[in-house]
Structure 1
Amino acid sequence: MITKAIVERYEIEAFLTLAEELHFGRTAERLRVSTAHVSKTIKGLERRVGTVLFERTSRKVVLTPVGSALREELRPAFDRIQQSIRNAKRAGLEVRGTLRVGYFGSAGGRYLLEVGERFQARYPECTVRITELQLSDGASRLRNGEVDTMLCCYPMFEPDITVGPVLYGEAKMLAVAAGHPFAERASLCLEDLAEVTMIQNPPALPIDFDEYHHPKQTPSGRPIGQGPVAATFQEILALVGAGKGAYLTTEQAPLYYLRPDVSFVPVLDAPPLQFSLGWLTTGLTPRVHAFVQAAGDMTNSRTE
C-alpha cells in the first residue's frame, strides 16, 4: 500500500518562496494564488512539521531557527527536482519528427512494432517508421542515414557503430531440405555440420560476425562445406529447399518462414543469436535514446 507523502510539493514551494520574500503578499503574487491560500498552506505545513517555521508580526515575517534550518536543507534538493523536471520536459520536446528503425526478418519487425507502440504512447509527437533491411546492407543504410537505429545481432565489430544492451535472444536451428536425413532428427550439434554444405551469407556481412554464427569448421576442427552465396533470407530458404545446402538460423524462422520444402532442426550447442539496437556512435539523438530506453523497458517488463 502506498502512503501519502508527509509534505506535499505545493507546501514546499510555498515555504521556500515565503522564505525568500518574507512577505505573504509577494509570495502570493509569485505563486499566483491568494494571500489567504499562502497563509493556510504555511499553517498546514507547520502542523505537519509540528513547530512554527515563521514568526509573524504586523510589520514583518521572519524565519524561526527551525524554519531557517529547513530552508537550508530543502532548497538544494528542491532545485535539483525542478531541474530534473525541466530536463525531462526539454527531452520530451526534442523527441518529435520521424524515427527510422531497421530490422532483419519478420520476428524482428514484430518486436520493433511492439516497441514502437510503447514509444509512441510516451512521445506522440514522434512517428516511428519501421524498415526491413537485408543481410548485405544493414550497416551501410545506417551509415548513409536511411535509418537512425537498427536491430543488430551480437557480436558487432563495427568501430563506428555503438550497440546497446541485449534485448532478447533466439536459439539456433539448422534449415535443411525436407528430404534431407537431418530433417528426421530431433536435434543436432555443431559437429554434425561437417555432414552438410552451408549456404553462405553475402560478402558484405562482417567476417568476424559471420565466423561466430556460421563457422567454417566444427568444434573438433572438421571442415564445413561451403555452398552458394545468397543475398536475402528468402533466397537462402529457396536454395535450402532445392537441396543446395543448409543454413543456421533461429527458432523464430519456422514461425514466420514455414515452407513445405524446408525443415528446421534445433542445434543444441550453437551460441544463441542475441539482438540489440545499434546506432552510429555519432548519431545518438534524443529520439534514438528514447527508443532504446523504450525497448529496454519492454524487455525488463517481460522478465519481471
Structure 2
Amino acid sequence: MLERHELEAFLTLAEELHFGRTAERLRVSTARVSQTIAKLERRVGVPLFHRTSRRVELSPVGRDLYEELRPAWSRITAAVARAVDAGRGLTGVLRVAFHGPAAGQLLVGVAQRFRERHPDCDVRIREARPPDVLPWLRDGEVDLALTCHPVSADEVDTGPVLVREARMLAVPAGHPFARREALSMADLARATVLRIPERLPDSGRAPAGRHVSGGPTAMTSNEALTLVGAGEGVFVVGAHARRYFARPDVVYVRIADAAPVEWGLVWPAGGATARVRAFGDAALDVVRGV
C-alpha cells in the first residue's frame, strides 16, 4: 500500500510537473519530494516521470496511475472532511471564489447570511479570473466558487442555478450592431467574437488576441470590453454588464434567441462538505428572498 505522503507527492508533482512548486505546495524540501518519488518508482518498478534538466513530464505509466488515483483521492479527502465536519460541527474556514462584480456582490450577501447561521465558521471571499477557477478548486486553494454554468470539467460538481439573466452582446459604440434593438445568434457569425478561456493552456498564459479553443481571448471581462471598445471584436455578456461595466465606447445589445446566462456554485468533485452544503443553502435562501 502507498503511504499518504507518497500519494500526495505523486499527485502534486503530476499536476505541477515541477519539483520546486511541488515542494512549496506540500511545505517540504525539494530533496524530500525527489526522495519520495524515487522511492515510489522503486516500489512500482518503472519510472513514473521523465526528467530532464529543463522539464518534468509524466511517463505513460505515471499518466495512467494519475488518472486512476486522482478521482479516488479526491473522494477520500472529501469523505474525511465530511467526517470532521460531522464531529466538529460547522467550524473553521470556508474559502469562496468569484469573478466579476455582480457575483461578488451576491457572495457578500450570501456570506453574511451564512455567518448569521454559523458564527463559528469564517468565510473568506477571493476574486478570480475565470481561467483561475478550475485550478483553484483542483489545487484546494478555494472550497467552492460562484461562476457561470455549465462548467465542462469532470473534476467539479455543480449546485443549482442561482441567477439567470438575458444574454447580451457588447459591441463597439460605432458598430452597425449598436443601432439594433436586438440581435440573433446568426448575427454573431458575421463578427469576431472575443472569448475568456475556461482554463489556461499548459503554459499558464493566454495573451489577449491569441486564439484558444476557437476565438480571440482575453483574461477578464474588463480586458475583453477594452478590446471591444478598441474595435477588436464583440463579446457575449450577461445583462448585469450594463450596470457594472457601463462604458462610453461600448453598447450592449440583447441577443433575442440566445439561452440565458446561468450562474451557480461549483466545488471539487466529491467535495460537498457540510460547510459547502450549508453555504449552498444560504445562497438559495438569499436569491429566493427567504
Question: What's the TM-score, normalizing by structure 1?
Answer: 0.60
Asked if 1:273 is matched to 2:268, the reply is: no
Whether contact under 8 Å (1:101, 1:128) holds in the other structure is: yes
Cα 1:235/1:267, change in 2 over 3 Å: same
Alignment of 1:258-297 (within 5 A): 258-297=246-285
Whether contact under 8 Å (1:227, 1:245) holds in the other structure is: no
Query: Which residue of 2 is the match for residue 218 of structure 1?
Result: none
Whether contact under 8 Å (2:96, 2:123) holds in the other structure is: yes
Q: Which entry has the higher C-alpha Rg, 1 or 2? A: 1
Query: Which residue of 2 is the match for residue 195 of structure 1?
Result: 190
Whether contact under 8 Å (1:164, 1:292) holds in the other structure is: yes
Asked if 1:247 is matched to 2:235, the reply is: yes
Which structure 2 segments of 5+ residues have no match?
1-84, 202-213
Q: Distance in 1 between matches of 2:262 and 2:87?
A: 30
Shift of 1:205: 6.7
Asked if 1:117 is matched to 2:105, the reply is: no
Root-mean-square deviation (CA, aligned residues, Å) is 2.0
Deviations 1:150-199 (A, max 9, x none): 01322223112110111111110000011111111111111111221111
Query: Which residue of 2 is the match for residue 153 of structure 1?
Result: 148
Asked if 1:97 is matched to 2:88, the reply is: no
Query: Which residue of 2 is the match for residue 233 of structure 1?
Result: 221
Q: How many aligned positions are there?
A: 194
Question: What's the TM-score, normalizing by structure 2?
Answer: 0.63
Shift of 1:93: 4.8
Alignment of 1:176-191 (within 5 A): 176-191=171-186
Shift of 1:239: 0.5
Q: Distance in 2 between matches of 1:141 and 1:172?
A: 27
Q: Distance in 2 between matches of 1:202 and 1:155?
A: 13
Aligned match of 1:135 in 130, 134, 157? 130
Shift of 1:277: 0.8
Query: Which residue of 2 is the match for residue 106 of structure 1?
Result: 101
Q: What is the aligned-residue identity percentage?
A: 45
Whether contact under 8 Å (1:172, 1:250) holds in the other structure is: yes
Q: Distance in 2 between matches of 1:228 and 1:276?
A: 26
Runs of 4+ in 1 over 3 A off after TM superposition: 90-93
Q: Distance in 2 between matches of 1:160 and 1:276?
A: 16
Whether contact under 8 Å (1:92, 1:123) holds in the other structure is: no
Which structure 1 segments of 5+ residues have no match?
1-89, 207-225
